[in-house]
Chains A and B, each alone.
Chain A
Amino acid sequence: NAGVTQTPKFQVLKTGQSMTLQCAQDMNHEYMSWYRQDPGMGLRLIHYSVGAGITDQGEVPNGYNVSRSTTEDFPLRLLSAAPSQTSVYFCASSYSNTEGEAFFGQGTRLTVV
């Protein structure tokens, strides 16, 4: 059972480039989320989805887009990368936000130069 799979694990982008971070889960979870982890800032919620076709903004959504066309996949798009988006990104999935645990991927370390 793969759980939550994120690709790529590492990425270097130039300022202004765009890219998509992929996230897939095989647990049939309705809830999926994207977080970024920065020193001293903890895990901050970027965007989340409560089911296919439904997405909403988290705490720090600017500069990012998401879509949820299937239950399994929740890609995160950086429209025009900026050095401030240098971070470690985590995707998570859960069957509920009020019970049980969220399962996290291994993370994507992104550097924008």
Chain B
Amino acid sequence: DQQVKQNSPSLSVQEGRISILNCDYTNSMFDYFLWYKKYPAEGPTFLISISSIKDKNEDGRFTVFLNKSAKHLSLHIVPSQPGDSAVYFCAASGIYTDKLIFGTGTRLQVFP
């Protein structure tokens, strides 16, 4: 039973345009959400997070939006750059769960 789902395994975007990566979750006990970026042969690295008390968090080119009623979050990258090409994982946890659960990942390719 996948509690955190990323339904798009891959996404291709032109440099300079917006990349939108989506994530859905099923467990209503989750109240903290994170995005990680992973390059080949490296461990995932933290990108941005959002608490359930917010609906938006911004950090430079990266913005995460949270829609609690729809149990949906998205990561916007504007403008996209070739160096953003990587696999992006969303993850969820909560004050009532000790576990950090990851989604299946979306491979983003940014082409010139």
Residues of A that sit less than 8 Å from B by CB: 4, 31, 33, 35, 40-45, 48, 50, 56, 58-59, 90, 92, 94, 97-107
- Do residues A42 and B89 form an inter-chain contact, with CB atoms below 8 A? yes
- Do residues A45 and B94 form an inter-chain contact, with CB atoms below 8 A? no
CA distance A7 to B9 in the complex (A): 30
CB distance from A24 to the nearest CB of B (A): 14
- Do residues B102 and A35 form an inter-chain contact, with CB atoms below 8 A? yes
- Do residues A42 and B102 form an inter-chain contact, with CB atoms below 8 A? yes
13 contacts between A and B (CB under 8 A): A31-B98, A42-B6, A42-B104, A42-B105, A43-B105, A45-B100, A97-B93, A98-B94, A99-B51, A104-B44, A104-B45, A106-B43, A107-B43
- Do residues A90 and B99 form an inter-chain contact, with CB atoms below 8 A? no
- Residue picked from B49, B98, B101, most chain A C-beta under 10 Å: B98
* Chain A residues, CB < 8 A from B93: 97-98
CB distance from A2 to the nearest CB of B (A): 13
B99 touches which of A40, A45, A101 (Cβ 8 Å) = A45
- Decide if B64 is an interface residue (CB 8 Å cutoff): no
Residues of B that sit less than 8 Å from A by CB: 6, 9, 31-32, 34, 41-46, 49, 51, 89, 91, 93-95, 97-105
CB distance from B76 to the nearest CB of A (A): 19
A50 touches which of B46, B49, B91, B98 (Cβ 8 Å) = B98
Further contacts, 7 of them, CB under 8 A, given A48-B100, A106-B41: A45-B99, A90-B43, A98-B31, A99-B32, A99-B51, A100-B49, A101-B46
